Structure 1
Amino acid sequence: MSSNFPQGYFYIKSRQNGFVLDVFDGGMSNDTQIIVYPQKYNDASNQLWSYDDGFLNQKWGYHDGFIHVLADPRLVLDIRGGISKEGSQIILYERKHQNNANQQWVVEPFGNAGGQYAHLSHEIIAGAAAFEAVRAYARHQQNEGKPIAHPHAKEAIAAIASAELLEQHNWGGDKEQAKKAAEQAAQNYYTREYEGFPSVQ
């Protein structure tokens, strides 16, 4: 079943108010809230999304403006209570056939595609790569049944961030500068989210 999401990173923008989906405070724990918030063009890594095949209950589809669970297309992303203000929570709710503006979304490719990656700052590119690196590392460790905190975790995450950044072929900025920024940002994300976890020696 097709997801209809674009490749690469994108914003998810509400048709009701023009706000975008935002990971509250850049959190990375499983219970972090998703909210709507004004779109950011700098330091926007907590508003950028990508589609990866995952478990069935974590797969999403995009059709007719609705973002729905592939396992049950009746359940869609919904701005809780239809409240049109920044910080409103996002929930799963049964699809409404009328008065459904709070369930309607526009997927906007990061940089609006068309070669505009070249005009984005290295901080944005680095932040997106860093966020993806920490997420990929944590997912790998969990799948392997290993602790997230590890003496060599920062080095591993920095390497993943570098590789992720080099995949941004459409971006024409200073990749060496962005690579260093991505490595540092990834290590900072890791420190903030996981350094308090138990580690193995």
Structure 2
Amino acid sequence: MIDRRGFLSQSLACSTLLGQTPPPAGAARPNILHIMSDQQQWGCIANRNPSRTPHLNRLVQEGMLFERSYTPSAVCCPARAMILSGAYHWHNGVFNQIHSAPSVHRDMYPDVVLYSNRLKDAGYRMGWVGKWHASWTRCPADFGYEMARVGGCDPAVLRKYDLNPDRLATPKESNRRHPIKMARWPGAQPFAMWGYE
């Protein structure tokens, strides 16, 4: 007879193996839209306050909503780096605000692999809109993103990759335009779009 601990460990092992099984050939993969905003209360969506957000409400109803999301860091940059890497800050190297001096470490460790790298390897086209705040010395292009409208890293890095070709546009205009461009990417490849504000 198997005890509770044995059952749970075997179930976890089986689910891990199943999760690594590639999808069947020809299976449709969903587009991924990840929206994260700073300083937003739960009541801002799903008709819980007087603000009308019909499009956001529809996304919530049709997609996946993380109702229990916790962070071991109350500071912006480490929290973002943890979400992107799936690793605690002591494993990914972002311990505090990367853009303010004195910063302990201004970049993720070189061996850190982000979700974007994994999705790119799986055939997704990658896009980023909004604050980066995960590395001062590297930008989304270094992590597999093909299109980005970005802030929150060294401006010299952005010029190097020419990630903000529409520098004269206001950030809000540009942030609206890029997701529309991504939704119109040619081909049947799925896309993953991160929108962080």
Give the greater-gyration-radius structure (CA).
2
TM over 0.5: no
Q: Output the TM-score relative to the length of structure 2.
A: 0.25
- The structure in which a higher percent of residues are strand is 1
Q: Output the TM-score relative to the length of structure 1.
A: 0.25
